[in-house]
């Protein structure tokens, strides 16, 4: 048995077999072929096309059986591309006329079509561009003999990878993936956040040894609560974890009673418990877990894994869907927060020494009307279909807030002139995630309808600890007395001005911290769907008075370790 310890990034326990996702750098060797090699390359092309068709047909059938015809249609569309009367001759001509090897020929043709389609205004046609790319890469991988991991997901497995991008994570079939393990990452890296929103246990930041030693098909236990990973566990550990898994499942069952209950403290005070989302697929788990709204919609995911900015129309559809699905429950849409660990390659921003301290979030939007205005127009237009609110990220000064609000006013005026419908009284809030904003929270509170504390960044900027660096991950903690004081200061300043305060950083779902947050008066807790029910249960065990008394004691403690130990002693 080998025990490896990483960062517990998404709760839950998994017992299963491993599947290692090696980094697939697809390097195509471009070769100019001679006339007498043409037939050989054409033959390779046709055999790869046949293999691609066969695997797509299989995927289509499997998906239809397990997830329904609608989900399977994506593979139907891919198959049609391989039968298209223009596409195949284009591959062949590239080999024959340009004397290129098959892999390079396919790649060139696919790139050309994908660029042509993705430049189109029509969303449907643009989508076809990415389908062509997907199909093309499937054929190229076959030609190069590179395995496609998503095709290997036949049984339930634990995926091991260097790192997983949010789009990798989103593509996995959540019925098959028991857990994620990654070499890189931290609790607040976006891969970890995605795993939590999918409800899949994850341990990240396991270091390079993991990837070097890992092999397929090894028995493994993943403890997403403690960060422990056991390779080839011995019998007693296996028994212990089988019990823990059963207990975990029983707890999940017990928590179901909170699904339809409004979040309340023991003395009956109502508190809001809401979910964080990155795309519309996250809405169902939030509702299923009893979420009372959305406290943070990270819209940057709409901008990622594509070749150009999403249009106003595309965004409008997504925000409208979120508004409609949530009905009268609030949905707080955060305006674009790129930069830091969220890069948009197509925007071609210059490389920076310190991306987290650089050109990111509202700083980009205030300079780029062409990005900010279409997003604001889309949110405002969608606001007539539900209870949407706007929230600005990374505000560090009153000037930034005023400027952002002025742009909202401009956009409202434009929409009115065009005769478009929208909620003219839409609430506008801002994130508190930079210490400078806390220090002037009294000024800022006069200008907005609400605050939401982003502890992931607030901790990073307060303790000067990179949130993505696993080497210093233990330092990135909400238990640091400075962070606890900043949270209290923010809430006091806001309440003095009569506005409410939420928290949408990961600390809001930290089960030990909840009594403190309640005690200092937090009004709304926004978290990954998986933590909602547990949070409701914990809140139901505390009266406001008890929580206030504990908060006072906690504020006397001088170190994060003292705070952490104390919080564990008061757990109910
Ligand atoms: C935060 O910083 O706490 C936050 C919620 O925003 P993000 O994690 O997307 O930076
Ligand atoms: Mg942030």
Residue keyed to tokens 């393990």: 181
Question: Ligand 1 atom 3: the closest Cα is on which residue?
Answer: 454
Mean pLDDT score of the chain: 90
Q: How far apart are CA 508 and CA 25, in angstroms?
A: 38
The whole-model pTM stands at 0.75
- Atom number in ligand 1 closest to CA 188: 8
- Which ranges in 266-397 belong to alpha helices (H)? 283-288, 312-326, 362-367, 369-382
Question: Ligand 1 atom 8: the closest Cα is on which residue?
Answer: 456
Distance between terminal CA atoms of the chain? Answer: 35
Helix (H, G, I), strand (E, B) or coil at 518: helix
Q: Ligand 1 mean position to 340 CA, how many Å?
A: 11
CATH topology of domain 2-23+150-238: Glucose Oxidase; domain 1 (3.50.30)
Q: Ligand 1 mean position to 454 CA, how many Å?
A: 5
Q: How far apart are CA 91 and CA 88, in angstroms?
A: 5
- Atom number in ligand 1 closest to CA 298: 9
Residues carrying CATH 1.10.274.10, the chain: 35-144
Burial of 267 (0-12, 13-18, 19+ CB in 10 A): exposed
Q: Ligand 2 mean position to 394 CA, how many Å?
A: 7
Helix (H, G, I), strand (E, B) or coil at 383: helix
Q: Which residues pair with 503 in a beta bridge?
A: 453, 525
Q: How far apart are CA 113 and CA 108, in angstroms?
A: 9
Residues carrying CATH 3.50.30.10, the chain: 2-23+150-238
Q: How far apart are CA 272 and CA 289, in angstroms?
A: 14
- Atom number in ligand 1 closest to CA 296: 5
Rounded alpha-carbon distances, angstroms, from residue 391 to 25, 46, 219, 449: 38, 52, 45, 10
Backbone angles phi and psi of 270, in degrees to 5: -80, 135
Ligand at minimal distance from the CA of 193 is 1
Q: Which residues pair with 452 in a beta bridge?
A: 431, 502
| Torsion from C-alpha of 468, 333, 518, 193, nearest 10 degrees | -30
Q: How far apart are CA 490 and CA 479, in angstroms?
A: 16
- Per the model's pLDDT, the better-predicted residue between 210 and 337 turns out to be 337
Question: What CATH class has 258-569?
Answer: alpha beta
Res. 233 pLDDT band, cuts 50 70 90: very high
Q: How far apart are CA 241 and CA 15, in angstroms?
A: 8
Q: Ligand 1 mean position to 504 CA, how many Å?
A: 7
Backbone angles phi and psi of 175, in degrees to 5: -75, -20
- Give the pLDDT confidence of 369-411 residue by residue, as tens digits: 999 999 999 999 999 999 999 999 999 999 999 999 999 999 9
Query: Mean per-residue pLDDT for 102-121?
Result: 84
Residue 150: per-residue pLDDT:
58
Provide the residue count of the chain. 572
Q: How far apart are CA 425 and CA 525, in angstroms?
A: 24
Ligand at minimal distance from the CA of 301 is 1
Q: How far apart are CA 401 and CA 428, in angstroms?
A: 10
Helix (H, G, I), strand (E, B) or coil at 555: coil
Q: Ligand 2 mean position to 332 CA, how many Å?
A: 14
Q: Could you write out the DSSP letters of every residue in 130-149?
A: HHHHHHHHHHHHHHHT---G
Q: How far apart are CA 83 and CA 53, in angstroms?
A: 9
Catalytic site residue 190? yes
Give yes or no for residue 190 having a pLDDT over 70. Answer: no
- Atom number in ligand 1 closest to CA 455: 3
- Atom number in ligand 1 closest to CA 276: 5
Element (H, E) at 177: strand 177-182
Catalytic site residue 480? no
Question: Ligand 1 atom 4: the closest Cα is on which residue?
Answer: 454
> Among 394, 457, 461, which residue has the most ligand 1 atoms within 8 Å of its CB, making it the best to mutate?
457
Look up residue 156 and give its two tokens.
């339930």
Q: Are 161 and 223 in contact (CB under 8 A)?
A: no
- Give the pLDDT confidence of 129-175 residue by residue, as tens digits: 767 877 888 888 888 887 666 556 667 899 998 877 654 665 567 77
- Atom number in ligand 1 closest to CA 453: 3
Give yes or no for residue 440 having a pLDDT over 70. Answer: yes
> Among 187, 188, 461, which residue has the most ligand 1 atoms within 8 Å of its CB, making it the best to mutate?
188
Q: Which of 408, 411, 415 is nearest to 429 (CA)?
A: 408
- Which ranges in 9-37 belong to alpha helices (H)? none
Q: Ligand 1 mean position to 54 CA, how many Å?
A: 43
Q: Which is the catalytic residue, given 190, 365, 476, 480? A: 190
In eight-state DSSP terms, residue 452 is: E
Ligand at minimal distance from the CA of 189 is 1
Q: Could you write out the DSSP letters of every residue in 235-273?
A: HHHHHHHHHHHHHHHHHHHHHGGGTTSPPB-TT--B-EE
Residue 442: per-residue pLDDT:
98
Q: Ligand 1 mean position to 193 CA, how many Å?
A: 10
Give yes or no for residue 298 having a pLDDT over 80. Answer: yes
Q: Which residues line ligand 1 (CB under 6 A)?
A: 188, 296, 298, 337, 433, 454-457, 504-505
Ligand at minimal distance from the CA of 188 is 1
Residue 191: per-residue pLDDT:
67
Tally of CB atoms within 10 A around 549: 13
Residue 297: per-residue pLDDT:
97
Backbone angles phi and psi of 437, in degrees to 5: -70, -35
> Among 297, 357, 393, 456, which residue has the most ligand 1 atoms within 8 Å of its CB, making it the best to mutate?
456
Query: Mean per-residue pLDDT for 39-58?
Result: 90
Q: How far apart are CA 19 and CA 450, in angstroms?
A: 45
Element (H, E) at 411: helix 398-417
Q: How far apart are CA 322 and CA 320, in angstroms?
A: 5
Count Cα neighbours of 317 within 13 Å in the Cβ-side half-sphere.
Answer: 6
- Atom number in ligand 1 closest to CA 452: 5
- Give the pLDDT confidence of 372-382 residue by residue, as tens digits: 999 999 999 99
Q: Ligand 2 mean position to 433 CA, how many Å?
A: 6
Q: Ligand 1 mean position to 44 CA, how many Å?
A: 48
Q: Which of 366, 348, 336, 278 is nearest to 307 (CA)?
A: 348
Please state whether 564 falls in left (phi above 0), alpha (psi between -120 and 50) or beta. Answer: alpha
Q: Are 448 and 429 in contact (CB under 8 A)?
A: yes
Question: Ligand 1 atom 6: the closest Cα is on which residue?
Answer: 454
- Give the pLDDT confidence of 458-514 residue by residue, as tens digits: 999 999 999 988 889 899 999 999 999 999 999 999 999 999 999 999 999 999 999
Question: Ligand 1 atom 1: the closest Cα is on which residue?
Answer: 454
Rounded alpha-carbon distances, angstroms, from residue 15 to 54, 269, 499: 32, 40, 46
CATH topology of domain 35-144: Enzyme I; Chain A, domain 2 (1.10.274)
Q: How far apart are CA 508 and CA 503, in angstroms?
A: 6
Q: Which is the catalytic residue, given 365, 476, 480, 504? A: 504
Residues carrying CATH 3.20.20.60, the chain: 258-569
> Among 302, 341, 356, 505, which residue has the most ligand 1 atoms within 8 Å of its CB, making it the best to mutate?
505
Tally of CB atoms within 10 A around 59: 18
């Amino acid at each position: 048995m080998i025990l490896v310890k990483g960062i517990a990034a998404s709760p839950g326990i998994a017992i299963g077999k491993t599947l290692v996702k090696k980094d697939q750098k697809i390097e195509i060797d471009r070769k100019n072929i001679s006339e007498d090699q043409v037939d050989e390359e054409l033959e390779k092309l046709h055999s790869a096309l046949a293999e691609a068709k066969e695997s797509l047909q299989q995927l289509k059938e499997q998906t239809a059986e397990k997830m329904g015809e609608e989900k399977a249609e994506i593979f139907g569309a891919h198959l049609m591309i391989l039968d298209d009367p223009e596409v195949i001759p284009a591959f062949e001509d590239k080999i024959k006329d340009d004397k290129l090897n098959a892999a390079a020929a396919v790649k060139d043709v696919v790139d050309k079509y994908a660029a042509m389609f993705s430049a189109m205004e029509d969303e449907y046609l643009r989508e076809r561009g990415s389908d062509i790319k997907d199909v093309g890469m499937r054929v190229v991988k076959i030609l190069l003999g590179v395995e496609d991991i998503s095709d290997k997901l036949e049984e339930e497995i634990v995926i091991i990878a260097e790192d997983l991008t949010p789009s990798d994570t989103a593509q996995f079939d959540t019925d098959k993936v028991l857990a994620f393990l990654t070499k890189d990452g931290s609790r607040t890296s976006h891969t970890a956040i995605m795993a939590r929103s999918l409800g899949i246990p994850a341990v990240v930041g396991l270091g390079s040894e993991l990837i070097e030693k890992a092999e397929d098909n090894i028995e493994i236990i993943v403890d997403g609560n403690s960060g422990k990973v056991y390779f080839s566990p011995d019998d007693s550990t296996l028994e212990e974890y089988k019990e823990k898994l059963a207990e975990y499942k029983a707890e999940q069952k017990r928590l179901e009673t909170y699904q339809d209950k409004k979040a309340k403290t023991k003395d009956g005070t109502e508190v809001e418990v809401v979910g964080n989302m990155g795309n519309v697929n996250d809405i169902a788990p939030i509702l299923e877990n009893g979420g009372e709204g959305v406290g943070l919609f990270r819209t940057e995911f709409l901008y990622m894994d594509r070749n150009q900015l999403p249009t106003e129309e595309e965004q409008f559809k997504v925000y409208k869907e979120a508004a409609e699905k949530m009905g009268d429950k609030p949905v707080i849409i955060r305006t674009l927060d790129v930069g830091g660990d969220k890069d948009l390659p197509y925007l071609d921003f210059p490389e920076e020494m310190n991306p987290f301290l650089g050109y990111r979030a509202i700083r980009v939007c205030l300079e780029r009307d062409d990005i900010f205005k279409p997003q604001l127009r889309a949110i405002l237009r969608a606001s007539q279909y539900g209870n949407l609110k706007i929230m600005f990220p990374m505000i560090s000064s009153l000037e930034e807030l005023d400027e952002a609000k002025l742009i909202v006013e401009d956009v409202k005026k434009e929409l009115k002139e065009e005769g478009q419908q929208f909620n003219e009284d839409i609430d506008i809030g801002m994130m508190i995630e930079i210490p400078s904003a806390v220090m002037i929270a009294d000024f800022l509170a006069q200008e907005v309808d609400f605050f939401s504390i982003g502890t992931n960044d607030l901790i990073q900027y307060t303790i000067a600890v990179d949130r993505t660096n696993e080497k210093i991950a233990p330092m990135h903690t909400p238990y640091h007395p400075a962070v606890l004081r900043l949270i209290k200061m923010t809430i006091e300043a806001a309440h003095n001005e009569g506005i409410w305060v939420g928290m949408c950083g990961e600390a809001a779902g930290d089960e030990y911290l909840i009594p403190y947050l309640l005690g200092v008066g937090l009004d709304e807790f926004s978290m990954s769907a998986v933590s909602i029910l547990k949070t409701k249960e914990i809140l139901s065990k505390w009266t406001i008075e008890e929580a206030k008394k504990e908060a006072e004691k906690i504020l006397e403690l001088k170190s994060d370790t003292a705070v952490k130990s104390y919080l564990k002693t008061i757990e109910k």
